[in-house]
Every structure is written in structure tokens, then in C-alpha cells.
Amino acid sequence: MQVNSPDTAPDYTAGNLREGTLDAKVLLKGQEGSLNNYRFSWEVARDQWSTPRHRHNFDQIRYPVAGEVEYGGNLGVLPIGVVAYFPESMYYGPQIRHDNSVTVTIQFGGASLNGFLSPEERRRGFDELLQKGKFEKGVFTWYDETGKKHNKDSYEAVWEHIRGRKLKYPPPRYRDHIIMNPQNCAWMAVEQQPGVQRKWLGSYTERQIHCLMWKIAPGARLSLPGYPAPQILFVTAGSVSVNGKQYGIHTAFGLDPGEALPEMTGVTENEILMYQLPCFTAQEQDEYRRSMQNAGGSKLAA
């Protein structure tokens, strides 16, 4: 089990593909080369960090903690405390994160089986592309051998360089982003675990992404069995203990596929946000790993 917090997590140093400064900490991450790869980050805008309107071939779930972030279009400014699911292939932006805004974001490979770049892969792509062009305001710009100018979304350019093929966006599974309001959902008692309550926020795609919250009364205990995909828990209020050690607000716990949660005990009044990431078959995992082994060579226009 991974355990981390903003005070102990390493900096995210994969290169800035956007405009401005985003102080990001990697709280948890998945396994590179696996369809279950992910990055769970604590993100603080130190000045006005921004992106143009864009989309991705992976899923995201965002949890605003402080300050103001604009996402453009129908999204506008997300209120503090909502849980926002950004499905793959859905455009959003222009995005503006104002000074000292704090967002907790998880990015992970979605139902389309495109996976997710690790920080190390993204850093390598960023550094190698800098030898060919420049990143500016969310766009990668380069000139081919004839002198023709090319522009491409920064992340799309890095992905194509690392994966060695053109990025094709899957048809969207939803018509819009999904904003969940936990404060409007009721706590339900968990019969098998006295003193434990749960809020079910939503389930998405055929890959069974789950968003939910837990509340563990002081002295009560939460147990979770192993699950076929990673499980992420993030303390949004109060404190808990695991294996006799106490953890406070903004602590993140990451469980690998099949890994059970050691008993988590309530210490003070608490709330815990939890994600269960997409499920993939063993055959799909094997095919994806083989495709990673065969990847290589940039597919950007020369």
C-alpha cells in the first residue's frame, strides 16, 4: 500500500506543457506499462496557470480543495468540494487556475485501452521534443525540413512521440462532464461494519469506475477486500489510523489491484473520498504490454 501526503510527496517534474506555474506533488502513482497506470496529484497554482481548450485520451477526476479554477464552457468555476469526472475525448477549457488554487486530480487510462503516460515517459518526451521545437501556451510548435510550421496540443505531441503512433480519440461515452455534489448525497450505514457510513456518488463506463465516500466513527473500523483495479482513498476531513499509525487530512492511500485495505480506524470525525479505477482483463493487459514493447519513434510530421 502506498501512503503519502502533500508534505511528503515528491514534486512532479515531467516538464510544463502549459502556461504559468503549477506546483504539483505526486501523491500516488500506478505501474508504468500497465493499463492500470495512473497519477494522483496535489496541484497548487503559484501564478495564473492556464491551458487552451483541449481534450485527452484518458480519464480524469478532479476534487477542488481551495481557490478558484475556471474550466470554460458549461463547467465554469467548479465549487470547492465537488467531485468532477472528465471523461476521455471530452473537450474542456480554456482552463485558468488562479493564484493559490488547490486541486486534487487523478488521471488514468480509460475504457478505450489507450493507457496513461507515466511521469518518466512524459519527461522523456518533453525533453526530446525540445530538441525539435518549443512548448508555448499549451501548444507544441515545430518546423519541418521544408520550413513549414506545425502546431499541436502539447500533451498530444508528447503522447505521439512516446507511443510512436498518431493519437486517435475514441468516440465519447458521455455528452458532458459529470459533476457530483457529495453534500447533496445521503450517508448510508454499512450493516456489516458498525460505525461505518458510505455515500455512493457514481459509477461510470463499462469498466466500472466508482466514486464514493466513507465516514468512520471514532473507534470504528473500515475493511475493504481486494479489487481487480487500483483503489485510491483520500482523507478530506479529520483523521484515521492504519496499523496503529495516525494519518490526518489530505493523506492519500493507494491499493494495487487485488490488495485489501488493512483495517482503517476512525480517530476524529472524518470523511474519506475513494475511487475504484477501471477494470481490465488479463488478456487486455498482456496485449497492451506488447504494444508498449513495440512502441517507438515519433509520429509527428517531419
Q: pLDDT tens across 173-193, in order?
A: 999 999 999 999 999 999 999
242 has a pLDDT exceeding 70: yes
247 has a pLDDT exceeding 60: yes
Helix (H, G, I), strand (E, B) or coil at 243: coil
* Residue 46 pLDDT class (50, 70, 90 cuts): confident
Mean pLDDT, range 270-297, rounded to an integer? 91
87 has a pLDDT exceeding 70: yes
Mean pLDDT, range 129-157, rounded to an integer? 94
Residue 220's nearest CA partner among 202, 238, 201 is 238
Mean pLDDT, range 22-48, rounded to an integer? 95
| Amino acid, single-letter form, for residue 246 | Q
CATH domain 185-276 topology: Jelly Rolls (2.60.120)
Mean pLDDT, range 92-100, rounded to an integer? 94
Mean pLDDT of the chain: 94
The pLDDT value recorded for residue 297 is 56
The pLDDT value recorded for residue 300 is 64
The pLDDT value recorded for residue 302 is 43
Single pTM value for the model: 0.94
| Amino acid, single-letter form, for residue 91 | Y
DSSP for 273-287 reads EEEEPPP--HHHHHH
The pLDDT value recorded for residue 299 is 63
Sequence-ordered list of residues with C-beta below 8 angstroms from that of 244, at least 6 positions apart, any chain: none
The pLDDT value recorded for residue 48 is 87
The pLDDT value recorded for residue 295 is 73
16 has a pLDDT exceeding 90: no
298 has a pLDDT exceeding 70: no
Alpha-carbon distance of 13 to 252, in angstroms, equals 20
201-241 pLDDT, tens digit per residue, is 999 999 999 999 999 999 999 999 999 999 999 999 999 99
Residue 230's nearest CA partner among 204, 253, 198, 264 is 253
The residue extents of the domains of the chain are: 185-276
